[in-house]
């Protein structure tokens, strides 16, 4: 079955033009025809067999993480300190119109339009692929020009440079490792690239390589040259902070076995690049089906959340989540850790 991208896009927009289930759209897998229905009873007369599996229900944008989550992701990526204001907006009714008003005041409305359009396009294409719907006349993605961000405000920057019990970048072995990598680096960005590769390729992922030593503290990860994704992110942050480069922590919620429960957190990093703002990097270690790279401004992460209970958390934390640290400290072998990986519930 073939269908024009513009037709399927119209169906998605209609289904998401109100609250979930207020407006619905169905597509026939045989004919490609799209049927529209509203709670009010307006629009098309639906076929009598509309409940037949022959007809696929077009999902609401919240099912594809194209609502609040997308807005927060954009805010934390492009709005700097104003991101916290956006987070507060979405705790109240009428958030979306207030969000767009804020973007208008900040001069970011066109950028949001491009960003949102790209996200919709990607989600629609992936949904069609999942349902074996062939789409034609697919438009190009909008090219979003890099923004000039400059420096973080000093009070914000310091949070992402701190040496702590876990991110102990002032430890002699961390300092020495940082100096060795810096010797062959011709710029901060080159240093970031080399440190990312070092942690990704030299520090083994404990489960991939069955290294039965659970690490957590950055210097400990460096000493034993192994760690889960969380521990590797601790070391990467320490090596970046050792050179005065702001680094934080990001998380995804993923299916452990790629088919529903159980779910767990996946840990990665964000580094602040003056040219682009916060840029996420994932040094968990590549393997078959996983190819994380450092290629700003384009993100190239190890995983992309797919099912409805998986999630990309947009926040950049200055410290590892307590649940992550507590779990790493609780278990002393990778089998027990693997069976009890940290997780947090997704509220929709």
331 to 218, 231, 326, 339: CA distances (angstroms): 17, 13, 9, 10
pLDDT of residue 149: 54
Q: Is the dihedral of CA 38, 19, 120, 100 positive or negative?
A: positive
pLDDT of residue 8: 87
- Widest distance between CA atoms in the chain: 73
Q: What predicted TM-score, i.e. pTM, was given to this entire model?
A: 0.64
Mean pLDDT of 230-238: 98
CA–CA separation, 27 vs 302, rounded Å?
Answer: 33
CATH 3.10.620.30: which residues of the chain?
Answer: 154-338
Average the pLDDT over each of 41-50, 98-107, 209-218, 282-291 and give the range with the smallest value: 41-50
**pLDDT tens profile 6-52:** 888 998 899 888 887 788 888 888 888 888 888 776 666 788 888 88
**pLDDT tens profile 125-159:** 988 888 888 888 888 877 665 555 556 777 788 99
- Say what percent of the chain tops pLDDT 70: 95
pLDDT at 265 over 60: yes
Domain 154-338 has CATH 3.40.718.10: no
pLDDT at 294 over 90: yes
């Amino acid at each position: 079955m073939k269908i024009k991208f513009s037709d399927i896009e119209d169906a998605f927009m209609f289904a998401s033009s109100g609250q979930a289930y207020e407006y619905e759209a169905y597509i026939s897998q045989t004919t490609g025809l799209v049927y529209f229905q509203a709670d009010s009873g307006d629009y098309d007369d639906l076929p009598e067999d509309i409940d037949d599996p022959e007809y696929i229900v077009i999902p609401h944008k919240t099912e594809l993480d194209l609502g609040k989550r997308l807005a927060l992701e954009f805010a934390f990526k492009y709005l700097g300190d104003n991101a916290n204001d956006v987070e507060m907006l979405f705790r109240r009714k009428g958030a979306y119109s207030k969000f767009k008003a804020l973007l208008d005041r900040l001069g970011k409305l066109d950028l949001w339009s491009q960003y949102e359009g790209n996200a919709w396009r990607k989600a629609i294409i992936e949904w069609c692929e999942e349902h074996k719907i062939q789409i034609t006349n697919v438009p190009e993605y909008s090219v979003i020009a890099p923004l000039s961000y400059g420096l973080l405000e000093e009070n914000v920057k310091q949070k992402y440079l701190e040496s702590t019990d876990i991110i102990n970048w002032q430890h002699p072995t961390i300092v020495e490792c940082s100096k060795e990598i810096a010797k062959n680096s011709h710029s901060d960005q080159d240093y970031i690239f080399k440190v990312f590769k070092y942690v990704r390729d030299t520090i083994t992922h404990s489960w991939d390589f069955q290294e039965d030593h659970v690490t957590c503290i950055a210097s400990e990860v460096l000493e034993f040259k192994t760690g889960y994704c969380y521990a590797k992110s601790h070391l990467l942050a320490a090596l970046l902070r050792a050179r005065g480069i702001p680094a934080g922590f990001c998380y995804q919620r993923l299916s452990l076995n790629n088919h529903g429960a159980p779910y767990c957190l996946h840990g990665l990093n964000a580094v602040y690049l003056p040219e682009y703002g916060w840029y996420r990097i994932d040094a968990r270690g590549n393997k078959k089906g996983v190819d994380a790279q450092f290629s700003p401004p384009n993100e190239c992460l190890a995983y992309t959340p797919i099912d409805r209970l998986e999630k990309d958390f947009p926040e950049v934390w200055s410290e590892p989540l307590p649940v992550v640290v507590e779990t790493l400290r609780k278990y002393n072998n990778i089998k027990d850790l693997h069976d009890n990986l940290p997780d947090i519930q997704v509220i929709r």
